[in-house]
Structure 1
Amino acid sequence: MAVYAAHLTRTLQGTPSLFQVTAQEALGSTVKPALQKVVEFLAATYPNKCGWCVGWYDELYLLFDCCLQYYYLKHYAASFSESFYGLLRVPLTSCSEFSSGQQLPLHLEKASLALLVLLPYVRDKVERVVDRWREDNEDGRLGKSRADRARRAAIHTYSIIHTACACARLVTLARYACGAGSPTPALHALRLTLRDAPPREEEEDNWKDVLRNVMTGQIGSAVASLPALGALALRGAEWGAFCVQLLRWWSARAEHQQALPTPPPPKRDEQTLRWKNKCPLCLQSWKIPTVLPVSGYIFCYICISRHVRAHSSCPVTRCPAAETSLVRLYID
């Protein structure tokens, strides 16, 4: 049984497991929202100096991510998250080994950088625009003009493309689990796959040498040791990413073990009797009845989704609410 499980985990010698592949992708998707929380905190603490960073966060992260991924692709032939899990990008077929050793050719390096940095940036921008058009369509703000029909077509087209990409990713992972192909469609398009990276060589200089040279007045030697500080900063970024993953796991674990007690239901208001079997917002019979769990009132879906999206609260009790908490009811 153990041998069979090991075969499922690693299909070939040196081939990363599906856990490593999915874990490095999860790490890559965690860094951006984690840094966004830091930027939002700085903007709230120093609004005059850092307030502009919130509006330009996507562009700032694009620049940061470009520098970070370029460094790791240049020195380790892997992205930041792949290098964190000890992975390496190699050619898909053994007959096309790189002539430059543990380095990507220049054209593959540029293509990898574009897929790692530009593609997520464009995808996030397009997704936000499509989500805004989808909300307008659900709220009935899209008319019958040519522009509105084009927006509806874009919504359906994006949904089809998103489904096709998800299916392609599933097929790619299935083929990779069987020992063929690449773990992601992006790597497959570049004719690359992932392998376990060899151990890194330790730097001759370290931060202790820098401190010792500064304390003794040997500024020239300290400047020569500055690359060690860069390596130390990158190692700190890797451990910071690990801490983010640990806190994320701990937060999800704490939500299940330390759940707050269920609050008592709100007192019945006699004035709400006129809302019986009606939406409290439009005072009409329910259209797609939807309950807001924080208060227990039933609304029309369009009415309550529009209100919660704009005010983030229940229109009757004023309790904080989110659009993701809405529950559709199926009433006979």
Structure 2
Amino acid sequence: MAVYAAHLTRTLQGTPSVFQVTAQEALGSTVKPALRKVVEFLSVTYPTKCGWCLRYYDELYLLFDTCLQYYYLKHYAASFSESFYDLLRVPTVTNEFTTGQQLPVHLERASLALLVLVPYIQDRVEALVERWREDDEDGRLGKSTPDRVRRAAVVVWRAVRVASWAARAVWLARYVAGRGAAHSLSLAVLGLGLRPAPPRPPYQYTWGDLVRNLFTGQFSGAEWFPLVGGGALRAVEYGAFAVQFLRWWDTRAAPTTSLPTPPPPQRDERAVRWKNKCPICLQSWKIPTVLPVSGYVYCYACIARELRARAQCPVTALPATEASLVRLYVD
């Protein structure tokens, strides 16, 4: 009851509850991995036409996210996920706009940079540091100065990530306690906070009017564009929410007792030829790792590099991801 009362108190004061702000953050973090699943499917199904999309996915998503976030910041003074939960960004100093429901130009550009550029740079740095960490675990980093710098960068990055998580938790706790106007440090740096958005004005025409005009031949694209465009945007928003729900449903592990035992795979000539060897480097395993989709055992560095590049088993061409790898501990 105390939590529910606190939720009501924050809402009556015009400040979104902690459930709303965390839900919109979760929704925003779902779009990129969800679209990546679609791109992976297309690259496997049409490797010659869509294979390049997976290699340059980060850059393509950067372009898509820039256009999407800019549109919502320009028209709704909020990000894509914030607009879905009917929230908008307002300056914490005046608590009101001087030019209507719009952000000042400098705050709009700064918000776009923090929403788009910062996550892109963070993902690129994360991938680079992860590759250095794998090289260190595989013993490919020596005692030279550049290799020592790479080892130090891995340690520093881990410390930075832990510190950022701790700062985020502390800032969110201050927001829940009513001591902060913004729930995140990025909004606080910009001097912004989230507030419930006013109701959007209804469209001049309805979908029923659109259908009647289509049948009577009295269709004019200019006057119907706001209705159709708004419907398309809401479809994207609810589609992202549906993808988030499907991801949650997919992560629920089914009991192993309810699954039938699969038949053992038939041994082929390739398995005999590569016995106790990695099918990629044709050497003895170094950190043996099995790919469950095909059952072949590889060196961890070899198969991880292959999956990052092509997202499929190099022997059977079955689609797979790096997250499905299983480490083996053999003598």
Is the TM value for this pair above 0.5?
yes
Cross-structure match for 2:233: 234
Relative distance call for 1:265 and 1:172 in structure 2 (3 A) is farther
Mean Cα deviation higher: 124-133 or 239-248: 239-248
How big is the shift at 1:71? Answer: 1.2
Shift in Å at residue 258 of structure 1? 8.1
SS in 1 for 2:254: helix
The percentage of counterpart residues that share the same residue type is 56
Match of residue 126 from structure 1: 125
| Offset from partner CA, 1:166-193 (integer Å, 9 cap, x none) | 1110110110010122111111111111
Q: Does 1:309 align with 2:309?
A: no
2:47 and 2:284 map into 1 onto residues whose CA distance is 39
RMSD of aligned residue pairs (Cα, Å) = 3.5
Structure 2 Cα separation of the partners of residues 200 and 138 of structure 1: 54
Name structure 2 gaps, 5 residues minimum: 266-275, 277-282, 293-297, 308-312, 314-319
Equivalence map 1:51-90=2 (5 Å): 51-90=51-90
Please say if residues 92 and 191 of structure 2, whose CA atoms lie closer than 8 Å, have aligned partners that are also in contact: yes
Once the two structures are superposed, the pairs formed by residues 148-187 of structure 1 within 5 Å of their partners are 148-181=147-180, 182-187=182-187
SS in 1 for 2:169: helix
Give the whole-Å Cα distance in 2 for the aligned partners of 1:311 and 1:64: 27
Q: What are the Cα deviations for residues 263-297 of structure 1, in whole angstroms up to 9, with x where unaligned?
A: 8999xxxxxxxx9xxxxx9799xxxx9998x8xxx
Q: CA deviation at 1:253?
A: 3.7
Secondary structure of 1:194's match? strand
Q: What is the distance in 2 between the residues matched to 1:290 and 1:44?
A: 26
In structure 2, distance between residues paired with 1:236 and 1:8: 33
- Deviation at 1:63? 1.2
Task: Map residues 241-280 of structure 1 onto 2, 5 A cutoff.
Answer: 241-253=240-252, 255=254, 260=259
Q: Distance in 2 between matches of 1:322 and 1:87?
A: 34
Q: 1:259 to 1:327 in 2, by over 3 A?
A: farther
Question: How far apart, in 2, do the equivalents of 1:258 and 1:242 lie?
Answer: 31
Distance 1:44 1:283, change over 3 A: closer
- 1:309 partner amino acid: A
Is this contact kept in 1: 2:205–2:224, CA < 8 A?
yes
> Which stretch shows the higher mean deviation, 15-24 or 230-239?
15-24
TM-superposed CA distance for 1:163, in Å, is 1.5
Query: In the alignment, is the contact (CA less than 8 A) between 1:205 and 1:225 conserved in 2?
Result: yes
In structure 2, C-alpha distance between the alignment counterparts of 1:184 and 1:247, rounded to whole Å: 27
Q: Residue in 2 aligned with 1:101?
A: 100
In 2: Cα distance, 1:191 partner to 1:89 partner: 10
Shift of 1:107: 0.8
- SS of structure 2 residue aligned to 1:183: coil
Partner of 1:269: none
In structure 2, the residue matched to 1:142 is 141
Which residues of structure 1 form unaligned runs of 5+? 267-274, 276-280, 295-302, 314-319
Q: In the comparison of the two structures, how many residue pairs are matched?
A: 295
Once the 2 structures are TM-superposed, how far is the Cα of residue 48 of structure 1 from its aligned partner? Answer: 3.6
